[in-house]
Amino acid sequence: MSEITQPEATQPEATQSGALDTIRQIIASKDVVLFMKGTRTMPQCGFSSRVAGVLNYMGVEFLDVNVLADAGIRQGIKDFSDWPTIPQLYVRGEFVGGCDIVTEMALSGELDALFEQHGIAYDKAAAEKIREANA
């Protein structure tokens, strides 16, 4: 009978450091990044669905990162931002917030202003429709 060898355990610090490096690379790779549970087409929680829905409706091009696919990224993004919940939205490398903040910003017009400030293309008419529907 052959002996089964176990893979070497990685040090938690090394794993965490690797996850943080990966997160930095992801955030730097696109203008708008949404760390979420699930994907933009198949969200796995209501909060992720809401933020992805706002971005999709506004026609914003964004990278969706499914934190459920990688436990290191799931915990790492919380540590990286010092924010305990997911989803998390980043625009041009800066943390914007989670579901409640993004929703409030969409309703107040602050999200439009943020996108304009950073040169992010979005559908202004769709943004107005969101506000009209929630007035």
76-87 pLDDT per residue, tens? 999 999 999 999
pLDDT above 60 for 62: yes
pLDDT band at 70 (very low <50, low <70, confident <90, very high): very high
81-116 pLDDT per residue, tens? 999 999 999 999 999 999 999 999 999 999 999 999
Query: In the prediction, which pLDDT does 17 show?
Result: 76
Query: In the prediction, which pLDDT does 95 show?
Result: 97
Residue 110: C-alpha distances to residues 8, 72, 102, 117 (Å): 48, 32, 9, 10
116-126 pLDDT per residue, tens? 999 999 999 99
Domain chopping of the chain, boundaries: 12-133
Fold classification of 12-133 is Glutaredoxin (3.40.30)
pTM, two decimal places: 0.87
